[in-house]
Amino acid sequence: MSTTPQDTLHSDKDTESLSGATVRLAGDSGDGMQLVGSQLTNTSALAGNDVATFPDFPAEIRAPRGTRAGVSGFQLQFSSEDIFTPGDELDALVVMNPAAFVTNIGDLQDRGVLIANEDSFADKDLKLANLDRNPLESDDLKKYNLIKVPITSLTRTAVSEVKNAEGNTLGTKEADRCKNFFALGIICWLYGRNLEPTIRFLNDKFGKKRPDVAEANTLALKAGWNYGETAELFERNYQVQPAHLTPGTYTNVMGNQALAWGLVTAANLSNKELFYGSYPITPASPVLEELSNFKNYGVKTFQAEDEIAAICSAIGAAFGGSMALTGSSGPGIALKGEAMGLAMILELPMLILNVQRGGPSTGLPTKTEQSDLLQAMFGRNGESPLPVIAARSPSDCFDVAQEAWRISSRFMIPVIILSDGYIANGAEPWKIPDVAQLEKISISHPGPIEEGETFLPYSRNEDLARPWALPGTDTLMHRLGGLEKEDLTGNVSYDPDNHQHMTNIRQEKVDRIAHVIDPVEVSGPASGDLLVLSWGGTYGACITACRRAREDGMSVAHAHLRWLAPFPANLEEVLKQYKRVLIPELNMGQLSLLIRAKYLIDATQLNKVKGKPFKVSEILRRIREEIDLLK
């Protein structure tokens, strides 16, 4: 036995083996698609598959019911192979209403399975979605494997016997709330997924307070499964074998959760209390919410009155000796700019997290984008370089948090962490590390000095880091401030040469980090026709596209940047090994600008700002075009 996946339920129909599938559940934002989506994710991960998810929901909490604006979708790819993206085209699509149908059908591949809740395709539903004909009756759907299921009425029947504490049966509204689990039941049957993890979830969540709700959803789930098995609509179902993941214990993590865990771990490894100053904003709020649970881990969270206060409180905590952190999304980071400059000139260690979303201004709060890179690089007054690190996937956030703090505390410099909405809300399996095996982060603070000695708060070690002297330490009393400081003493100085010198030093500090971070790694040929260079959340789509291109015989390599400032020391050398360099980004060309400016190479760019991640096919198509140009 290679792995120990949970057994799938037994089905009497023909079962076909697949390497993987991409499934999307789409419905009204009140239909609970995110909930069943994450259940399917969990179940698939427990079955030993590699999984990647893409939840996509509207900014409004309750957009008008049944409208296109209110559609919420959850996409998931599960596979017996290593996967890096939630998939491009859908193998199966569940639509709970006409609005979900129109906004999602374009992504279903020919001969894909389309499961529609036919109960919600009445005239009034069609009208809400701005449709004048029932699309399920259209001939256009012949190319799909359309399965119309009266999900609403079947769900009502399935839960009709359930009684609440007062002995009454569920009302229609409550009964209808179970239909997402009926839909999940069908998908579970179709892909041989075990129902047990979901039933356990329902019992854990509702079993104590609302046993009737747990029971009703369980019945709906099972009814969905049975429907797949007994209705003569499906010819067969499928099975996806476990993936060959590295041995170990796994759990599923979402990006923001992994980030929060990574931060607590970093604090633990460095023997520090974690202080998080933040102000709620999508999609960064879950980090605040998650960290505020960890009071018994020595984590202090402070929900400040605004983003400025949030970062300022973090700087105060850093001065006091905490592992300090502030986090927001683009609009909040814009507010923090002045204080980030202060943190930089104070040369205190701290982390500044930006979970990016679509901009500018309020932009697209719930959609993903990578358009704050230049803000991270330059969004402050004066010469104020800061190191910037970007996470590439949900589980990578765990490592990025630690690496950022390692560098920040070693070099006494604030570090910016970039994540994005796609990473933050996406989930993937994560091999749980043994905390005892993780490398410690050693931090020291100077102790009192002898009589006759003077304390120099802006003296430096070989990393150009100044001493992190903490209030409370006798004889080290010193004053920090945002005015330019004199070398060594840190006293206010307006001396022209000193300002030049200090400016140079602050840049040099960032530059030297290049010597301690990992060199950029290349997957694929070490030299050749095309290098695809990526950063952040586009990692999965880029690496997958490059692999496919190589399978098709193209000479294409992939390099992914973890640090955007400084660039890894070997980057220039790597870039020069290829005839062309392609930089795909979910912005209008921000990394391209930096690469072109710094290395004077004619990089070409692939840009998209549609609030959605890249599809592998989009990148692959562009790779082909680039390769063709070389012929």
DSSP letter string over 114-181? Answer: EEEEGGG-SHHHHHHTT-SS-GGG-GGGGGSEEEEE-HHHHHHHHTTT-B-TTSPBPPHHHHHTTHHH
Nearer to another protein, 277 or 613 (CB): 277
Q: Which residue has the tokens 């901009």?
A: 359
Q: What string marks each residue from 275 to 314 as x (binds another protein by CB under 8 A) or -?
A: x-x----------------xxxxx-x-x-xxx-xxx-xxx
Q: Which residue among 138, 251, 362, 381 contacts another protein (CB under 8 A)?
A: 251
Q: What string marks each residue from 574 to 613 as x (binds another protein by CB under 8 A) or -?
A: ----------------------------------------
> Tell me, what amino acid is at 65?
R
Q: Which stretch binds another protein (CB under 8 A): 83-91, 240-248, 508-516, 575-583?
A: 240-248
438: helix, strand or coil: coil
Q: Which residue among 488, 492, 601, 630 contacts another protein (CB under 8 A)?
A: 492
Nearer to another protein, 239 or 473 (CB): 473
d(CA 551, CA 408): 40
Q: What string marks each residue from 335 to 354 as x (binds another protein by CB under 8 A) or -?
A: ---xx--x---x--------
d(CA 64, CA 117): 19
Contacts to another protein from residues 452-491, by CB under 8 A: 471-483, 491
Nearer to another protein, 26 or 184 (CB): 184
In eight-state DSSP terms, residue 435 is G
298: helix, strand or coil: coil
For the record, the structure tokens of 465 come out as 């880091």
Q: What string marks each residue from 415 to 434 as x (binds another protein by CB under 8 A) or -?
A: ----------------xxxx
For the record, the structure tokens of 22 come out as 């991409």
Do 367 and 611 meet the contact criterion of CB atoms below 8 Å apart?
yes
d(CA 407, CA 387): 9
Q: Which stretch binds another protein (CB under 8 A): 117-125, 273-281, 358-366, 575-583?
A: 273-281
> Tell me, what amino acid is at 355?
V
Nearer to another protein, 133 or 479 (CB): 479
Contacts to another protein from residues 37-76, by CB under 8 A: 42, 45-46, 48
User: Per rule CB under 8 A, is residue 516 in the interface with another protein?
Assistant: no
Nearer to another protein, 324 or 586 (CB): 324
Do 35 and 96 meet the contact criterion of CB atoms below 8 Å apart?
no
Nearer to another protein, 3 or 168 (CB): 3
CB of residue 67 to another protein, shortest distance in Å: 34
d(CA 300, CA 457): 27
Nearer to another protein, 11 or 292 (CB): 292
Nearer to another protein, 226 or 475 (CB): 475
CB of residue 205 to another protein, shortest distance in Å: 13
Other Cβ atoms less than 10 A from the Cβ of 231: the count is 13
User: Per rule CB under 8 A, is residue 437 in the interface with another protein?
Assistant: no
Q: Which residue among 30, 211, 242, 525 contacts another protein (CB under 8 A)?
A: 242
Q: Which residue has the tokens 């569920």?
A: 170
> Tell me, what amino acid is at 176?
D
Contacts to another protein from residues 343-402, by CB under 8 A: 346
Q: Which residue among 7, 142, 172, 249 contacts another protein (CB under 8 A)?
A: 249
d(CA 627, CA 524): 15
Q: Which residue among 174, 229, 273, 572 contacts another protein (CB under 8 A)?
A: 273
User: Per rule CB under 8 A, is residue 567 in the interface with another protein?
Assistant: no
Do 531 and 522 meet the contact criterion of CB atoms below 8 Å apart?
yes
CB of residue 322 to another protein, shortest distance in Å: 4
CB of residue 36 to another protein, shortest distance in Å: 16
User: Per rule CB under 8 A, is residue 268 in the interface with another protein?
Assistant: yes
> Tell me, what amino acid is at 129?
A
CB of residue 81 to another protein, shortest distance in Å: 14
CB of residue 252 to another protein, shortest distance in Å: 7
d(CA 503, CA 616): 43
Strands lying side by side in the sheet with 414-420: 299-303, 274-278, 323-328, 350-356, 414-420, 388-390, 563-565
d(CA 480, CA 477): 10
Nearer to another protein, 300 or 579 (CB): 300
CB of residue 253 to another protein, shortest distance in Å: 9
For residue 22, give the nearest of 98, 68, 73, 96 by alpha carbon.
73
Q: Which residue among 181, 261, 411, 578 contacts another protein (CB under 8 A)?
A: 261
Do 557 and 413 meet the contact criterion of CB atoms below 8 Å apart?
no
Q: Which residue among 121, 144, 189, 319 contacts another protein (CB under 8 A)?
A: 319
For the record, the structure tokens of 152 come out as 């609403």
CB of residue 238 to another protein, shortest distance in Å: 20
d(CA 104, CA 112): 13
Tally of residues, the chain: 631
Contacts to another protein from residues 153-212, by CB under 8 A: 197
Q: Which residue among 22, 152, 241, 252 contacts another protein (CB under 8 A)?
A: 252
d(CA 34, CA 74): 6
Nearer to another protein, 102 or 199 (CB): 199
d(CA 158, CA 200): 19
Q: Which residue among 315, 388, 549, 616 contacts another protein (CB under 8 A)?
A: 315
Q: Which residue among 37, 321, 358, 568 contacts another protein (CB under 8 A)?
A: 321
Nearer to another protein, 1 or 61 (CB): 1
Nearer to another protein, 172 or 296 (CB): 296
CB of residue 342 to another protein, shortest distance in Å: 5
For 508, residues 6+ apart whose C-beta sits below 8 A from its C-beta are 464
Contacts to another protein from residues 5-24, by CB under 8 A: 5-6
User: Please, how many CA atoms are within 13 Å of residue 449, restricted to the half-sphere of its CB?
Assistant: 13
